[in-house]
Amino acid sequence: MEKETARIEAFSDAVFAIAVTLLVLELHVPEFNEGKNPAALLHALCAQWPGYVAFIISFFTIFIMWVNHHKLFKQIYKRNTGLMFANGLILFLASLVSFPSSLLSQFFRTPSEQIAVSIYTGMFVLVNIAYNWLWYEACKDNGLLRPGLGAGDIRKIRNDNLYGLPAYLAAFALSFYFPTTALIICLLLWGFWVRSSKKLEIEN
C-alpha cells in the first residue's frame, strides 16, 4: 500500500529542521575590541550562558518532538483534512518553541521566573494536545493507519500521548506556585518521551 503522507512528512521535516537550526542566530560573537583582553572575551562568552542553555533546551525539545512525529507517521499511511491541520498545529508549535525556551533561560532564577515557567509549561500543554489531536484524527478513520497495525499498538500510542496531558496540566498548574517543581516534571516527561519512543520501536 502506497504511503500518501510522504509530502506531509517532507514538509514537517523541513519545519522541524529549520526550527532546530534557527536558534544559533541568538548566539552572538562578542565585539572585536574584546579580543584585546582575553579575560574580557572569556567574561563576555560566559555572560551569554542563558543563550547556550536555551539553545540546548530548544534543540533537544524540538528534536524529541521530531522523533515522536517520525514514530507516529511511520504508522500513518493516508491523510485527511483533519490530520493536515492537526499536523499544522504541531508545526506551528515547533516553530514557536524557541521563544518560551529563550524566555525560560533568560528569566530563570530571577524574580520573574514564575511567568517564564508558566509560559514554558503552558506551551507543552498545547504541544501535547496537538499530538493527541493528530493521533485521534489518524485513528478516527481507521483507514489512515498502516494496514496491519494491531489494536494494542494503536492503544499504546494513544495512551502514551494521553497520559502526558494530565502531567503537563499539573506542571502548568504548579508553575504558578512552585516553578522549580513544574520544571522538574517537564524534564522527567522528556525522559518519558525518549523511553516511550524506544518501546514503540521495539514492538514494530
Closest CB 21 distance from its own copies, rounded Å:
4
As given in the structure block, the three cell numbers for residue 163 are 497520559
Phi, psi of 37 (to 5 degrees): -135, 105
- Which position among 10, 184, 187, 188 is part of the footprint of its own copies (CB under 8 A)? 10
Contact in structure between 175 and 182 (CB atoms under 8 Å)? yes
Helices (H), the chain: 6-22, 38-47, 49-74, 81-96, 98-107, 113-140, 151-175, 179-203
- Which position among 72, 86, 95, 120 is part of the footprint of its own copies (CB under 8 A)? 95
Cα–Cα distance list, 45 to 39, 51, 103, 104, 108 (Å): 10, 10, 19, 19, 19
- Which position among 61, 102, 121, 175 is part of the footprint of its own copies (CB under 8 A)? 102
Closest CB 119 distance from its own copies, rounded Å:
8
Mark residues 138-177: x for contact with its own copies by CB under 8 A, - for none. ----------------------------------------
Nearer to its own copies, 40 or 165 (CB): 40
As given in the structure block, the three cell numbers for residue 141 are 478513520
Q: Which residues pair with 145 in a beta bridge?
A: 76
Closest CB 40 distance from its own copies, rounded Å:
8
User: Given the rule CB under 8 A, which of 80-88, 137-145, 162-170, 175-183 is the region that contacts its own copies?
Assistant: 80-88
Long-range contacts of 149-158 (CB under 8 A, 24+ apart): 149/75, 153/75, 153/200, 153/203, 153/204, 154/75, 156/199, 156/200, 156/203, 157/71, 157/72, 157/75, 157/200, 158/132
- Which position among 53, 67, 154, 169 is part of the footprint of its own copies (CB under 8 A)? 67
Closest CB 26 distance from its own copies, rounded Å:
8
Q: By the criterion CB under 8 A, which residues form the site for its own copies?
A: 7-11, 13-25, 27, 29-30, 32, 34-38, 41-42, 45, 55-56, 59-60, 63, 66-67, 70, 73, 79-81, 84-85, 88, 91-92, 95-96, 98-99, 102-103, 106-107, 110-115, 194, 197-198, 201
